[in-house]
Amino acid sequence: MRRKHLFYLSSDRLDAWLWQSGKLSGPASFAATRAGLDAFLGYLEHKHPGAPALLLADLVEEDFQRMLLPHVGGKAGRNLLERRLLQQYRETPYRQAMAQGRAEEGRRDDILLCSALTNPLLLQPWTDALALLKVPLAGLYSVPLLSEELVSRLGLGREHEHLLLVTQQTAGVRQSYFHDGRLKFSRLTLATDREGALVNAGAETARTQQFLVSVRLIERGEQLHAVMVAPEPDLERWSAQCESGPETAYHFIPLAIAAGLAGLGGAGNLGQPSTDAPLADPLFLELLARTQPAGQYPLGEDSRYYRLWRIRQTLMSSSAALAACALLWTGGNLWAYADAQHEGSRLVMEAAGYDASYRVSMSDMPPSLAPTANMKAAVTIERLLATQAPAPIDMVGMLSAALDKVPQVQIVRLDWRVAADGADPEAAIPSSVLGIPSKPPQSLRVEAEIPLVASSTRAIVDSMNAFAQELARNPRLTVAIERPVLDVSSSAKLSGSTGAAGGKPAPFILNLSLAP
């Protein structure tokens, strides 16, 4: 997001800041009154109404409780956590829990830090105003929960086991206790007492430390490191009020240095040096704007316009990506078209050059007896005849293989023919017979005989049948018996004798047809 509304909410007012192009500007302050709400509505109507908003709460009415919960995963664990939060904070919808490890003893329950904004009436007028103008509210955050990120960036959690971060904001002086860099407790006190005097930072730190010891977050005798982050003038006053001892060690970090260590501009984003900023509000707001973690407190229906805004942004991004792809595709097609046009022109010119060279070459040659087209056709026909012209070699090979299997058969005469279907034998030879455009069917008339053997008429018939069957094994060859060795028709006259062998051989005729 290049532009965001950042709202800092305290108990008595709301400060509106604007984050744009990595710079923080503002604030515009609105009191928690009817007039302040009306002014806030006017501000939203005229100050980038479509920009998303982040709400940072810094309230006294924020409660923190540590609890142990059985380690249960999945939907059952979420339901159990929701029931415990509802029991703990029944009067507010702004409640959440952070997992902080597991207990080392017993059944190793989950350690949770539960927190809630216990007075939702402080937030409701402002969230209603945002909903009225359909401002996309992205998340609800709190300064204590956001302080954990600041402590991590400053590297304080690694240096000190027990850390008390003290900062001064518009709402007052915030003291947040961290153990090993994890937030455990936070309290907010007013910057002035009832008489209007500034609070004593050392006395407030002592009260907080006494409370931490009473709830056993710190054992007696353990040292608490109190880190004061404030502008230079406040640090001078606080250093005079704080004195380090065996159980308390004070550290003072100017606001400008803290912003630099955290990688933030801090109050420098306001166009002034960081030391001129009176409070730490800009530091936390810039940290929120740059990191924008997931919403720390649930917003429920107050986030519906942000969801719609996200959908609209997604659709716009998808449309832009689709338009970019369409432009790239169109550009690619235009480039391919231009390239094809250029290549086509080059080929036309190249062909024209070849034609000119051919004509020049042909002009120097004597005239040929036949046109070039006829010569080309003759070459094509010659190649077809060489590859597809019929020849008896195939059928003779099949016949030879069958004779090897039935050696009793003796060939008397072969009559090989090639003719197109329905062709006149007396007419000129058609091209189909020559194998143009494909091989023609062929036929072979086989006249053969089988020598007679005394009392072996059955053997002669079996030899002819075996010879015919052996030829029929070829799938392209069709075998037809024109005249068998033994005429068994009703008109034939059968005769025989039991004389000695040596009679004439038994002739038979087969017609073979070879499909192309």
Identify whether residues 290 and 428 lie together within a single domain: no
* Residue at 157 is within a domain: yes
Cis peptide preceding 27, ω within 30 of 0: yes
- Give the pLDDT score at 269: 46
Identify whether residues 289 and 419 lie together within a single domain: no
* Residue at 92 is within a domain: no
C-alpha R_g of the chain: 53
- Which of 270, 298, 326 is a domain's end point? 298
- Give the pLDDT score at 361: 83
Nearest partner of 451 among 439, 459, 441, judged by Cα: 459
* Residue at 312 is within a domain: no
Domain that holds residue 43: 3-61+119-298
CA torsion sign for 151, 152, 154, 156 is positive
Instruction: Report whether 116 contacts 95 (CB < 8 A).
Output: yes
Nearest partner of 13 among 134, 126, 146, 130, judged by Cα: 126
* Residue at 34 is within a domain: yes
Question: From first to last of its 516 residues, what are the pLDDT tens digits of the chain?
Answer: 578 999 999 999 999 999 988 888 889 999 999 999 999 999 998 887 788 999 999 999 999 999 988 888 888 888 998 999 999 999 999 999 999 888 888 788 889 999 999 999 999 999 999 999 999 999 999 999 999 999 999 988 888 889 999 998 888 899 999 999 899 999 999 887 777 678 888 889 999 999 999 998 999 889 999 999 988 888 888 888 888 889 999 999 998 889 888 888 654 443 333 334 458 889 999 999 998 887 789 998 888 999 999 899 899 999 999 999 999 999 999 999 999 999 999 999 999 999 998 888 878 777 666 677 777 777 877 777 777 778 888 888 888 998 998 888 889 999 988 865 545 555 555 655 555 666 788 889 999 998 876 447 788 888 888 988 988 999 888 999 888 887 666 565 655 554 444 567 889 899 999 887
Identify whether residues 277 and 397 lie together within a single domain: no
* Residue at 326 is within a domain: no
- Give the pLDDT score at 493: 60
- Give the pLDDT score at 226: 94
- Give the pLDDT score at 327: 94
Angstrom distances, CA of residue 252 to CA of 125, 156, 226, 249, 284: 38, 12, 8, 10, 18
Give me 74's structure tokens.
């999945």
Q: What angle do CA 356, 360, 366 make, to 5 degrees?
A: 140
**Whole-angstrom Cα distance, residue 88 to residue 95?**
9
Burial 129-149 (b: 16+ CB within 10 A, else e): bbeeeebbbbbbbbbbbbbbb
Identify whether residues 18 and 145 lie together within a single domain: yes
Q: Can you give the pTM of this predicted structure?
A: 0.64
Longest dimension (CA), the chain: 159
- Which of 265, 298, 331 is a domain's end point? 298
Identify whether residues 48 and 151 lie together within a single domain: yes
Overall domain count for the chain: 2
**Whole-angstrom Cα distance, residue 184 to residue 239?**
25
- Give the pLDDT score at 122: 94
Identify whether residues 13 and 153 lie together within a single domain: yes
Identify whether residues 279 and 142 lie together within a single domain: yes
* Residue at 353 is within a domain: no
Identify whether residues 289 and 141 lie together within a single domain: yes
* Residue at 412 is within a domain: yes
Q: Which residues are CB-contacts of 358 (< 8 A; sequence separation ≥ 6)?
A: none
Identify whether residues 269 and 136 lie together within a single domain: yes
* Residue at 385 is within a domain: no
- Give the pLDDT score at 515: 83
Question: In 3-state terms, what secondary structure has residue 381?
Answer: helix
Identify whether residues 419 and 277 lie together within a single domain: no
Residues in the chain: 516
Q: Which contiguous run of DSSP H or E holds residue 21? A: none
Q: What CATH number corresponds to the domain at position 398?
A: 3.30.1360.100
Question: In 3-state terms, what secondary structure has residue 235?
Answer: helix
Q: Which residues are CB-contacts of 486 (< 8 A; sequence separation ≥ 6)?
A: 457, 460, 461, 506
- Which of 282, 298, 314 is a domain's end point? 298
